[in-house]
């Protein structure tokens, strides 16, 4: 059985027995402590074993795997999580801009507001990333249906007499 599967099974069990809020309370505290360490060092390379990281932040190897799972999308070279064990050395090659974007996307305010970001990305860069993130969430309807155009529902009526009719 892989450590990654153990992590997923542990999350399911934790949520079923203690609730989702309890899980996020525990996990977000662990995750924040790890990120504070990474961001304060400012190095794009962060090396650890799951066991060593777990001991450093006083948690389990499953939660260390959870952190690794969470940051994996922000790496220049994502890891094959299924193959990682507790004693395997992991080197994260972190793309900090992508990491900041992903933290915004996850609505993880407790992470993207960590003070050490100021030393890694300028205020202008962080604003630029926020703008890019907001624009990625905005859906623009490219084709505007005119009042006198045929209704897109296929009724054969004009839009103004069908789906565009004021209620």
- For 35-79, the pLDDT digits (tens) are 999 999 887 789 999 999 999 999 999 999 999 999 999 999 999
Burial 6-44 (b: 16+ CB within 10 A, else e): ebbebbeebeeeeeeeebeeebeebbeebbeebbeeeee
The stretch 138-159 carries a mean pLDDT of 82
Does residue 126 lie within any of the structural domains?
Answer: no
Measured distance CA(44)–CA(124) in Å, rounded:
20
Does residue 68 lie within any of the structural domains?
Answer: yes
- The answer to whether 64 and 5 are in contact (CB under 8 A) is no
Residue 71, token pair as written in the block: 């940051």
Question: Is pLDDT above 50 for 124?
Answer: yes
Does residue 113 lie within any of the structural domains?
Answer: yes
DSSP bridge partners of 23:
none
Question: Is pLDDT above 50 for 167?
Answer: no
Q: How many domains does the chain have?
A: 1
The pLDDT of residue 1 is 65
Measured distance CA(57)–CA(90) in Å, rounded:
16
Does residue 144 lie within any of the structural domains?
Answer: no
Q: CB-based contacts of 84: which residues, under 8 Å, 6+ apart?
A: 2, 3, 4, 50, 65, 68, 90
Does residue 143 lie within any of the structural domains?
Answer: no
Does residue 138 lie within any of the structural domains?
Answer: no
Domain span at residue 72?
3-121
Count of Cβ atoms closer than 10 Å to residue 147 Cβ: 9
Does residue 158 lie within any of the structural domains?
Answer: no
Q: CB-based contacts of 138: which residues, under 8 Å, 6+ apart?
A: none
Does residue 51 lie within any of the structural domains?
Answer: yes
| Nearest CA-CA partner of 63 in 99, 90, 103, 26 | 26
> What is the pTM assigned to this prediction?
0.79
């Amino acid at each position: 059985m892989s450590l990654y599967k153990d992590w997923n099974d542990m999350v399911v069990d934790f949520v079923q027995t203690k609730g989702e809020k309890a899980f996020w309370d525990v996990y977000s505290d662990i995750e924040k402590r790890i990120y504070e360490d990474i961001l304060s060092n400012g190095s794009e390379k962060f090396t650890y074993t799951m066991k060593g990281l777990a001991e450093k932040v006083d948690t389990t190897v499953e939660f260390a795997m959870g952190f690794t799972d969470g940051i994996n999308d922000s790496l220049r070279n994502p890891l094959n999580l299924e193959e990682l064990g507790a004693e395997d050395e992991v080197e994260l090659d972190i793309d900090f801009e992508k990491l900041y974007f992903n933290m915004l996307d996850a609505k993880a305010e407790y992470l993207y507001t960590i003070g050490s970001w100021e030393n890694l990305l300028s205020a202008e860069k962080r604003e630029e990333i926020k703008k890019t993130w907001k624009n990625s969430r905005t859906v623009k309807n490219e084709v505007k249906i005119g009042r006198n155009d045929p209704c897109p529902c296929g009724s054969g009526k004009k839009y103004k007499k069908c789906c565009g009719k004021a209620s």
